[in-house]
């Protein structure tokens, strides 16, 4: 079993989306076949939900890693919450992490849990530092320090808003 985790931005600019989608499909296709896969994701808006939907479309089971906080209340727009609940119903497994003192700490703990349980990390990332504790840059840095291979998916030259 090969576990592929994800970290990434909640907002992916339209100019980066085709490269990200193609990269996710290729990654899941290339690891497929003889190798059994499992996808690890927190199901947040943007990269996490896109990764989960792509994994499910490829027949890859998804494990939801739920940060230790009132997560649903912080997911954002109603469409994001609806997508979260839809994907969560399709997940093979669910890991509820222990409550953390702050939301940022909960995101960091979730990102680290995914890295600690992944054989490979996909980062939908513009390469810039995290905007807050537990952001994509922090999780990528932790994965690299931990020796977990990281594949960055992004359109070169495209910056987030």
The enclosing domain of 129 has a CATH number of 3.40.50.450
Q: Note whether residue 104 is domain-resident.
A: yes
39 phi, psi to nearest 5 deg: -100, 135
Residue 79 lies in domain = 2-153
pLDDT digits (tens, 9 = 90+) for 59-116: 999 999 999 999 999 998 999 999 999 999 999 999 999 999 999 999 999 999 999 9
Q: Report the SS3 class of residue 108.
A: helix
Q: Note whether residue 112 is domain-resident.
A: yes
- When mean pLDDT is compared across 2-6, 19-23, 31-35, 128-132, the lowest value belongs to 31-35
Whole-model pTM: value is 0.95
**Is the pLDDT at 32 greater than 80, yes or no?**
no
What average pLDDT does the chain have?
Answer: 94
Pure H helices in the chain: 17-30, 47-57, 78-90, 103-117, 136-146
């Amino acid at each position: 079993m090969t576990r592929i985790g994800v970290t990434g931005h909640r907002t992916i600019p339209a100019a980066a989306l085709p490269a990200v989608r193609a990269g996710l499909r290729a990654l899941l296709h290339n690891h497929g076949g003889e190798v059994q896969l499992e996808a690890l994701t927190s199901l947040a808006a943007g990269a996490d939900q896109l990764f989960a939907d792509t994994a499910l479309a490829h027949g890859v089971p998804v494990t939801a890693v739920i940060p230790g906080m009132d997560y649903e209340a912080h997911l954002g727009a109603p469409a994001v919450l609806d997508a979260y609940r839809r994907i969560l119903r399709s997940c093979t497994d669910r890991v509820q992490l222990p409550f953390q003192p702050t939301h940022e700490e909960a995101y960091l703990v979730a990102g680290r849990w995914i890295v600690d349980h992944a054989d490979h990390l996909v980062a939908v990332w513009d390469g810039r530092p995290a905007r807050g504790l537990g952001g994509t840059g922090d999780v990528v840095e932790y994965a690299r320090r931990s020796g977990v291979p990281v594949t960055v998916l992004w359109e070169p030259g495209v910056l987030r808003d």
